[in-house]
A and B are shown apart, each in its own frame.
Chain A
Amino acid sequence: DVKVTQSSRYLVKRTGEKVFLECVQDMDHENMFWYRQDPGLGLRLIYFSYDVKMKEKGDIPEGYSVSREKKERFSLILESASTNQTSMYLCASSGTSGGRQQYFGPGTRLTVT
């Protein structure tokens, strides 16, 4: 079974804090993704990575950065958290075969106060 884990289920941070969200997958997948999910908007892609040290901007990269130093780990960084970054953050991974199915982690609900 594919397993994608995220470092925290719930996180509360203050405005201006630096926030790290970590994601680890155990299926040796090449591709990893960070989304945020907000009511009525669905999942929106923040960044993705198709290889170690490679990253591509998604639709809403502003205010975020990412790091992929190892194949199994993809980190999302909020350099200076703001209240409009309060959201559910979902990490996903996929391989290069199998119809590109994405496997999701359980999500991190981040609240910025």
Chain B
Amino acid sequence: RKEVEQDPGPFNVPEGATVAFNCTYSNSASQSFFWYRQDCRKEPKLLMSVYSSGNEDGRFTAQLNRASQYISLLIRDSKLSDSATYLCVVLRNNNDMRFGAGTRLTVKP
């Protein structure tokens, strides 16, 4: 079983839709959590950190449930430019990051 599991998708949604991605992790000692975005043929870039209290950045909302070892990302009012692969990332300790395989999103006009 992978340490970080994501639904690979693809998610195909129309512009303006709300879409949610889920992620589960198996190591209960994990310390920090992130969502990265990776465009086609590009490197991953940090989208947002995920905090226990939940956090929002514009149209993006991230949630963490430590008890269930579950992380989510909600995108409201999807734009064409949101099309990308979204990587769930878990930091185990100082430098040990574990990446999910990613969820592909395509937003269509």
- Inter-chain contacts of A41 with B (CB < 8 A): 101
Number of B residues near A (Cβ < 8 Å) is 21
Contacts of A100 in B (CB 8 A): 32, 91, 94-95, 97
Q: How many residues of A contact B (CB 8 A)?
A: 21
Interface residues of B in 50-109 (CB under 8 A from A): 87, 91, 94-97, 99-102
**Contact between A106 and B95 (Cβ–Cβ < 8 Å)?**
no
Cβ-based interface call for B44 (8 A): yes
Q: Least Cβ distance of B53 to chain A in Å?
A: 15
Number of A-B contacts (CB under 8 A): 45
Q: Distance in Å from the Cβ of B2 to the closest Cβ of chain A?
A: 8
- Chain B residue, CB-CB nearest to A101: B46
**A105 to chain B: which residues have CB within 8 Å?**
43
Q: CB distance A102 to B97 under 8 Å?
A: yes
Chain A neighbourhood of B46, CB < 8 A: 101-102
* A31–B99 touching, CB < 8 Å: no
